[in-house]
Chains A and B, each alone.
Chain A
Amino acid sequence: MLINILFYVFSATLIGAALGVVLARNSVHSAMFLVLAFFTSSGLWLLMGAEFLAIVLVLVYVGAVMVLFLFVVMMLDINTAQMREGFTRYAPLGLVIALIMIAEIAYVVYYRHLDLNAELLVAPTTAVAVSNTKSLGAVLYTQYAYPFQLAAVLLLIAIVAAITLTMRARPNLKKQDISAQVAVGKADRLQIVQVASEKRP
């Protein structure tokens, strides 16, 4: 009963937030709606018993990705009138893409529905006593160890590529060598001079 209410509340919020992402005029508001969308979908996953995925969604997307995204969006100076110019021209293309995506989702849902046996429909999570995280880890580091490593290497390559693309040597840059600053000792800065005292006249 309570779970049903929560499900509908989360779903309604999710759909509202998703609409907000597209319809909001201000791009920072759009980004915040996206954060809300991530949050509510994480809530939906929690209701399904996928606690690890739900928390990792918040940790990775809301906690890291969206923060950087918000940074970028806040710095942009967007002229909304200019952005809206090509709207009617691109609308048919956008509609086609949206329809294809809806068809794909519908296909997956329908296909899954055919495959579902009655056993899975009844409380899929409570059957397993092992925690969500543990069971995921058990598969990830044994059966899927190589794909997992491959994904990690792929991310590493992306990081290296991004850094090489943006890093450029600037020859005349004035820099402070912090290690040298930190390593400075008394002997480098302080000189004790013995000054002979004035002779009494």
Chain B
Amino acid sequence: MSLLGLYNSLAVSEQVALIKTVQIIGVLLAVVICVAFMTLAERKVIGWIQGRIGPNRVTLFGIPFTEGLGQPFADVVKLLFKEIILPANADKVLFLLAPMIALVPAFATWAVVPFSPEFVLADIDAGLLYVLALTSLGVYGIILAGWATNSKYALLGALRSAAQIVAYEIAMGFALVGVLMASGSLNLSDIVRSQAGALGWNVVWLAPLAVIYFISGVAETNRAPFDVAEGESEIVAGFHVEYSGATFATLFALPEYANMILIATLTSVMFFGGWLSPFDGYLGAGSLLSQPSFLWLAIKIVFFLFCFLWFRATFPRYRYDQIMRLGWKVFIPLTLIWIFVEGLMVYWHIGPWHR
């Protein structure tokens, strides 16, 4: 009663600020919990693909039949209690700052992601630009970690990773230019809405861009088969060799998995209709299956996350010069060509541009 009275006594703008804060904390918590279970899912799925079982001991707070589900929490507790080692010759400030810098863009980008027709934290007009700007910041954490460690392996890993991220970012940006042309808006909710109806998803007309976007996303997040940044057979572990305990968790595990979930979400939003139903436009408008909902987005995200794990278990690691060639000489020309083709389609009113 008193809490409700306190809430009602606030000005409207303060009430909005309070609700937004609660929403932001909610979304962040959801992302962190997804990251925790993503690590478990990765070990389980890859285990199954390789004919193993995966984590199957730790229960969730002792509840029976949850063997394995408690593994992420056990890992978190283990990492938090480990000693944080500061290398003697490291740049202490940047060494500790780098993990935090890596973490911020991975979380801040969620502000503009449209989760459902009604719910998005910040429905800003330049949403697509905001996404591009923030994803381009992720590289700082890696470069700084590599440099501040003051070790050859870390610096080599950082350079590899940074060159790779810079290369694939351009292809990603161009793929999103195609989305922008198709939807005529930078607002992510508008981009989803513009994909409504039968054959409305961007992937139908922008299939090459969708494929390039997702593969570049895998390369951006330094995931297998593009994980030369941490190639353990050549440079031990790359930029995070000297990181331990909680700094390792925040530099490496959290941003990497949060970025994976983000890339999966953005691929669904940009090319696969976000929260739109896959049956939208085929079944009648009154049908329950054709209603837009967060559940559809969740199903698409889970599918793309599974693809990340599937790739890791299937493909051998790329050689470094091949990665660079794929980014600069294959993906960027391909996106440019498809943007040109799309321009012609717009000009001649082909496909979704017939109106």
Contacts and interface: CB of A to CB of B under 8 A. Distances in A.
A133 B321 CA distance: 38
A56 to B, nearest CB: 7
Interface stretch (A59-67, A85-93, A103-111): A59-67
A63 B137 contact: yes
A52 interface: yes
A71 B136 contact: no
B140 A67 contact: yes
A131 B126 contact: yes
Counting contact residues on chain B (CB < 8 A from A), the size range is 20 to 34
B18 to A, nearest CB: 14
Contacts of B166: 64, 67-68
Contacts of B137: 58, 62-63
Contact of A74 (B124, B147, B169, B186): B147
A67 B126 contact: no
Contacts of B325: 178
Contacts of A35: 140
B322 interface: yes
B86 interface: no
Nearest to A130: B125
Nearest to A71: B162
Nearest to A178: B325
Q: Is the interface of A mostly helix, strand, loop or mixed?
A: helix
Nearest to B326: A178
B133 interface: yes
Contacts of B126: 51-52, 55, 131-133
A18 interface: no
A131 B155 CA distance: 43
Contacts of A58: 133-134, 136-137
B49 to A, nearest CB: 25
Interface of B: 91, 94, 124-126, 129-130, 132-134, 136-137, 139-140, 143-144, 147, 155, 159, 162, 166, 169, 186, 321-322, 325
Interface of A: 26, 28-29, 32, 35, 51-52, 55-56, 58-59, 62-64, 67-68, 70-71, 74, 131-134, 176, 178
26 contacts: A28-B91, A29-B94, A32-B94, A35-B140, A51-B124, A51-B126, A52-B126, A58-B133, A58-B137, A59-B129, A59-B133, A59-B136, A62-B133, A63-B133, A67-B140, A67-B143, A67-B162, A71-B162, A74-B147, A74-B155, A131-B125, A131-B126, A132-B125, A133-B125, A133-B126, A134-B125
